[in-house]
Structure 1
């Protein structure tokens, strides 16, 4: 059984079909790419998968269970986390507190215990801090734990956003243009980071990306979206050498 199975997914805005009959099947621990030009509907697909939008048609099966109709928070609890093209960190919080925010759904001390700083509050806060530091160490960000997130260099902010997403303990991680705004050296480092996340956490990853070097370097398979519809899908190198893809997206 696939980790994610999407069938006949569709949504319209004002009579315009933004996504139409979209389908995708992703296996556990697969690193999968969703590519296409601006306006093709890629981010709309992400918004459908995470409950930001509710589809007009179709089903989204996560571990065999249909999650259509679930809220963003419910879907996150069921195992889907995401990052965004435009980084959405809590700039005025520390790096450590940004990761701890990912544990919000696990907070096991009561409101009263938090207000009066009872022993259970300190115990749980320490547990979350230790876990957050473990995550930061994976991304070599532990030395920045007490820095404000907004003061990190751009590439490290990208890593922090992934670390915070992982704090929600997902089974499927959605990365929305993770290489956007990065220089070539940062992109190379990001590729290593994504591979590490997949291997270290047995993570299944679906990413949107325009950087074809990154896509060709890390993705097992691809789906190409064209005006909200699937143009083609398959193994990465086969897709990238498909004449339809070259003509429509690579401009060659």
Structure 2
């Protein structure tokens, strides 16, 4: 059953057609890749899926509900979370608090409780601490809970950003170049982590990535974008042997 159905999606900036007639259907539980050369429109698609950009035309259906017109907070509450190509952590906050920030969709207390540290505040904060630590433990990062996010090694910062996105309890997790800047060992560990969280949390994952080893290692299906339009869709083996993809993306 499809979780995400994107139909005839497009966006124009002035006279520039950045994405045109984009279509994608992703089944529940699928690990799906969106690839293409730099400037192909991949991040623009992510920005439309998350409400950062309002599409010029088309629809975005999540479990049958159209997300077009909703703001980023509403889309997050509907079950879509994302990471960014450039890490966007709260560097002056602890690793634990970075994850807790994302838990406020599920946990809340009144302003008075927060200001006066009343019973509701203490109970909620304790529950959030426990939940955040559980999520960090999935990523093998529990020991870093009290560390400032800015003091983490680069690869661990990447993992923390995914952990924070996961804390919103998404149905669909969008990963924007999660392996960017990682060394081969970190990338191999990331591949295992992505597979694990897909299975453990039973979520659907759509990722943008240039690392073909990661893409072919974990993705079950790919769509290739080129100049804002879909070039082809299929399994990694079929897509990466397509002559048009080789010419447009792999540069051969």
Give the TM-score normalised by structure 1. 0.99
Q: Moved runs in structure 1, 4+ residues, more than 3 A?
A: none
**C-alpha root-mean-square deviation of aligned residues, in Å?**
0.7
Alpha-carbon deviations, 1:140-183, whole Å to 9, x = none? 00000000000000111111101100110000000000010011
1:9 matched to which residue of 2?
9
Measured after TM superposition, the shift of residue 105 of structure 1 is 2.1
Measured after TM superposition, the shift of residue 192 of structure 1 is 0.5
Alpha-carbon deviations, 1:204-236, whole Å to 9, x = none? 000000011100100000000010000000111
Equivalent residue runs for 1:68-217 within 5 Å: 68-217=68-217
Alignment: residue pair count: 252
Measured after TM superposition, the shift of residue 131 of structure 1 is 0.2
Measured after TM superposition, the shift of residue 108 of structure 1 is 2.2
Unaligned ranges ≥5, structure 2? none
Measured after TM superposition, the shift of residue 91 of structure 1 is 0.3
1:51 matched to which residue of 2?
51
Unaligned ranges ≥5, structure 1? none
SS of equivalent to 2:113: helix
SS of equivalent to 1:251: coil
Partners of 1:200 and 1:107 lie apart in 2 by 22
SS of equivalent to 2:249: helix
Is 1:235 aligned to 2:238, yes or no? Answer: no
Measured after TM superposition, the shift of residue 111 of structure 1 is 0.2
Partners of 1:243 and 1:187 lie apart in 2 by 27
Partners of 1:105 and 1:80 lie apart in 2 by 12
Partners of 2:178 and 2:108 lie apart in 1 by 32
Partners of 1:205 and 1:108 lie apart in 2 by 27
